[in-house]
Amino acid sequence: MLVVDALEVPGRFVDGRPLVAAADLERLVGWTVRPEGLCRGDVCIPSAAFAAPIADSPTDGGPILDGAADEVSQSVDLLAVADVLGRPMVADGDTGIVALALPSEERRRALVDRQAPDFALPDLTGETRRLSDWAGRKRLLVTFASWCGCRYDLPGWQALDDELDGLTVVAVAMDQTADDVRPWVDGISMPVLVDADHVLSELYAMSNVPTVVWIDEDDGVARPNTLAFGTDTFAEITGVAAGPHLDAVRRWVHDGELPPEAGEVADLDDDEVLARLHFRVGVVALRRGHPDAGRRHLLAAAALAPYDWTVRRAAMPLLGQDPFGQEFMDLYDQWRSDGSPYHGLLP
């Protein structure tokens, strides 16, 4: 079996390349193999590599796939699919874990077209929720984490959610489990979702928490990634007061007024995309009892994106490091001295 982005599918590695059943390809990447090539709906990418699925034979060491005979007879090279689609991939042949980058056009929708891509994440009860569950309302997408002091901001965001009838605040924790989040949500009734695989980090090009995105009634990104806080708990340290942003949200909800934007949100570069893939492989490896592989991929992720807190700081507790300790403070000072790089609008 292989684990592709947390989905278990019949398959295995052959010569370092992951092969999956042709029948599973659509649920993994949204494309199918037809005689004319790799297809999605009426769109096909002609390619000799996909003119016919790979047939397993005894010469390659036996059946490639577990499952029924018709599935075993037709398998597809997932790495070749990823190459044709332009979606970077990180695969660990020892553990059978694979992570594919999200289509870059999804990020373009959020950053350039200013249309909020939908997503599905579990809430604290395990129920799957989507951004579209609150369609037709103004929404404030607020990311936080148990490994960030911004966990103490949740009461401030809750107060804003209670105050403004025309707004829903959706808090998203970049944590591994709901249990990581529960100590910080006592008295919180606004939606709280858990993003264990950091989908939002890749989908919206986020590099730190807290990051806030304003989404209007028509699913437009009214204001992209913005550094903002729900309280003044850490204002002396960060130099950012909560009040100006909270007042701007009130004006947007009441009057439709949008503040001017200083700068723009840069897309992820190639290393940052790969860092997210290594992070995903690493956390899945840890969940499935492969500590050495998990550590290897988390360290690779940190090396590729050293100033991306959704990768570097989020990995600290998973690596047995203190995300509030001296190691982080040294990293924070280095980050500040290098200009505090951030994928988003500054206050």
What per-residue confidence (pLDDT) applies to 49?
Answer: 64
What per-residue confidence (pLDDT) applies to 59?
Answer: 35
Res 4 pLDDT > 90:
yes
* Token couple for 220: 């437009």
Res 6 pLDDT > 90:
no
Res 188 pLDDT > 90:
yes
* Token couple for 35: 């005689």
- The CB density around residue 207, as the number of other CB atoms within 10 Å, is 23
Instruction: Quickly state the pLDDT bin for 53 (edges 50, 70, 90).
Output: low
Res 70 pLDDT > 90:
no
Res 50 pLDDT > 70:
no
What per-residue confidence (pLDDT) applies to 74?
Answer: 79
212-258 residue pLDDT tens? 999 999 999 999 999 999 999 999 989 999 999 999 999 999 999 99
To the question of pTM greater than 0.95 for the whole model, the response is no
Nearest to 328 by CA among 339, 342, 338, 316: 316
| Residue bearing the bigger pLDDT, 52 or 211 | 211
Res 277 pLDDT > 50:
yes
**Omega of the bond leading into 210 within 30 degrees of 0 (cis):** yes
The beta strand positions in the chain, using DSSP E, are 2-4, 7-9, 11-14, 17-21, 32-34, 37-40, 43-45, 75-77, 89-92, 97-100, 120-122, 128-130, 138-144, 167-173, 192-194, 212-215, 221-226
Domains of the chain are 2-86 (no CATH), 105-255 (3.40.30.10), 271-306+316-334 (no CATH)
159-184 residue pLDDT tens? 999 999 999 999 999 999 999 999 99
Q: Please give the Cα distance from 321 to 31 (Å, whole number).
A: 40
Q: Average per-residue pLDDT in the chain? A: 91
Res 148 pLDDT > 90:
yes
Q: Which amino acid is at 188?
A: I
What per-residue confidence (pLDDT) applies to 276?
Answer: 97
Phi, psi of 315 (to 5 degrees): -75, -20
What per-residue confidence (pLDDT) applies to 162?
Answer: 98
Q: Please give the Cα distance from 300 to 159 (Å, whole number).
A: 40
* Token couple for 77: 């090279």
Nearest to 279 by CA among 332, 206, 346, 334: 206
Res 186 pLDDT > 80:
yes
**Mean of the pLDDT values across residues 90-113?**
95
Contact 21, 9 (CB under 8 A): yes
Contact 15, 5 (CB under 8 A): no
What per-residue confidence (pLDDT) applies to 54?
Answer: 56
Q: Which range (44-53, 131-140, 211-220) has the least confidence?
A: 44-53
